[in-house]
């Protein structure tokens, strides 16, 4: 059974789980098409290749036309992206099948989302690695956001690989764990996930189901217990006041 789905990041919004407001990310989750099936006898492993997104058939290049020979006959469009999923058993799907979001996810499922983060361009060490920079006083004019010395003495006598320095920031694969599905809308092909996800708008996301959970996990129970206890104390005080007032009237 497939546990991975692909969609496109849309907008952020909010929803309510009980009385708790939860920020959510809306994901465009149109059907994925099976474009190839990998078998252990032929390819050495089990897997499924999915076609994600849409583009016009006239824009498909010749090498892809042969690859999509079986699926293009039943579709008016061609996939925009191709992504492969490795499986632990022989897949039960065949080429041309459509995988819907409801086939994998339901409300309360816990997922892991991966995507390409926003590119920030060339950045210095203060922005990229949160360096403190140099002192702002005593005549410093050009050392405020500089990294400082990067070398060592005799040992090791060189700059070690992986040194935190200025360079391109962002545009890397980022994975966010333990997000919860708050809504599945098969009619509009939308999926809502709790919290933010990496990437730009309309960016491709890989959504993998990790566990079956409940929406109540998004609600903090401690504040609710405190509120209930306070309400009970208020009710007790009101009843005591009413009993005292009744007792005073009877004595009179």
CA distance 13 to 182: 12
Residues 105 and 191 in one domain: yes
State the distance between the two ends of the chain, measured CA to CA, in whole angstroms. Answer: 79
Residues 108 and 214 sit within 8 Å (Cβ to Cβ): yes
How does pLDDT run across 9-45, given as a tens digit for each residue? 999 999 998 888 999 999 999 989 999 899 988 889 9
Residues 131 and 91 in one domain: no
Whether residue 226 is contained in a domain is answered as yes
Q: What is the mean pLDDT of residues 153-166?
A: 90
Residues 105 and 64 sit within 8 Å (Cβ to Cβ): no
Whether pLDDT at 2 is above 80:
yes
How does pLDDT run across 218-246, given as a tens digit for each residue? 765 433 333 445 555 656 677 776 666 66
Whether residue 92 is contained in a domain is answered as yes
Residues 9 and 20 in one domain: yes
Confidence of residue 124 (pLDDT cuts 50, 70, 90): very high
Residue 60, judged by CB atoms within 10 A of its CB (0-12, 13-18, 19+), counts as: middle
SS3 for 120-181 is EEEECHHHHHCCCCCCCCCCCCCCCCCCCCCCCCCCCCCCCCCCCCCEEEECCEEEEEEEEE
Compute CA distances 161 → 4, 96, 132, 151, whole Å: 35, 47, 21, 12
Residues 226 and 113 in one domain: no
CA distance 63 to 121: 34
Residues 68 and 107 in one domain: yes
Whether residue 53 is contained in a domain is answered as yes
Give the residue among 140, 149, 49, 41 at the shortest CA–CA distance from 99. 49
Whether residue 156 is contained in a domain is answered as no
Give the residue among 168, 173, 160, 174 at the shortest CA–CA distance from 124. 168
CATH value at residue 23: 2.40.30.10
Residues 211 and 252 in one domain: no
- For 27, residues 6+ apart whose C-beta sits below 8 A from its C-beta are 7, 8, 9, 10, 190, 191, 192, 193, 197, 205, 207
Question: Residue 205's pLDDT is what?
Answer: 96
Whether residue 98 is contained in a domain is answered as yes
Residues 108 and 145 in one domain: no
Question: Residue 247's pLDDT is what?
Answer: 61
Whether residue 83 is contained in a domain is answered as yes
* Residue 209: its H or E element: strand 204-212
Parent domain of 132: 119-149+164-170
Whether residue 157 is contained in a domain is answered as no
Residues 138 and 233 in one domain: no
Residues 12 and 137 in one domain: no
pTM above threshold 0.85: no
Residues 65 and 82 in one domain: yes
């Amino acid at each position: 059974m497939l546990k991975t789905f692909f969609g496109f990041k849309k907008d952020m919004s909010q929803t309510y789980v009980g009385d708790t407001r939860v920020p959510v990310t809306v994901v465009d989750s149109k059907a994925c098409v099976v474009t190839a099936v990998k078998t252990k006898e032929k390819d050495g492993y089990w897997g499924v290749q999915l076609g994600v997104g849409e583009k016009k058939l006239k824009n498909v290049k010749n090498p892809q036309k042969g690859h999509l020979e079986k699926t293009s006959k039943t579709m008016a469009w061609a996939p925009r992206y191709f992504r492969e999923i490795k499986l632990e058993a022989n897949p039960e799907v065949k080429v041309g099948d459509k995988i819907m979001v409801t086939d994998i996810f339901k409300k309360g499922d816990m997922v892991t989302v991966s995507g390409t983060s926003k590119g920030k361009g060339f950045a210095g060490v203060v922005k990229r690695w949160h360096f403190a920079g140099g002192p702002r006083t005593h005549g410093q004019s050009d050392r405020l956001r500089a990294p400082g010395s990067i070398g060592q003495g005799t040992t090791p006598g060189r700059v070690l690989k992986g040194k935190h320095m200025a360079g391109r920031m962002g545009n890397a694969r980022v994975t966010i764990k333990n997000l919860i599905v708050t809504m599945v809308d098969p009619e509009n092909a939308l999926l809502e996930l709790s919290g933010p996800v990496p990437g730009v708008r309309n960016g491709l996301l890989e959504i993998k189901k990790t566990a079956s959970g409940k929406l109540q996990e998004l609600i903090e129970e401690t504040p609710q217990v405190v509120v209930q206890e306070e309400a009970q104390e208020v009710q007790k005080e009101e009843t005591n006041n009413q009993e005292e007032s009744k007792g005073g009237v009877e004595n009179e």
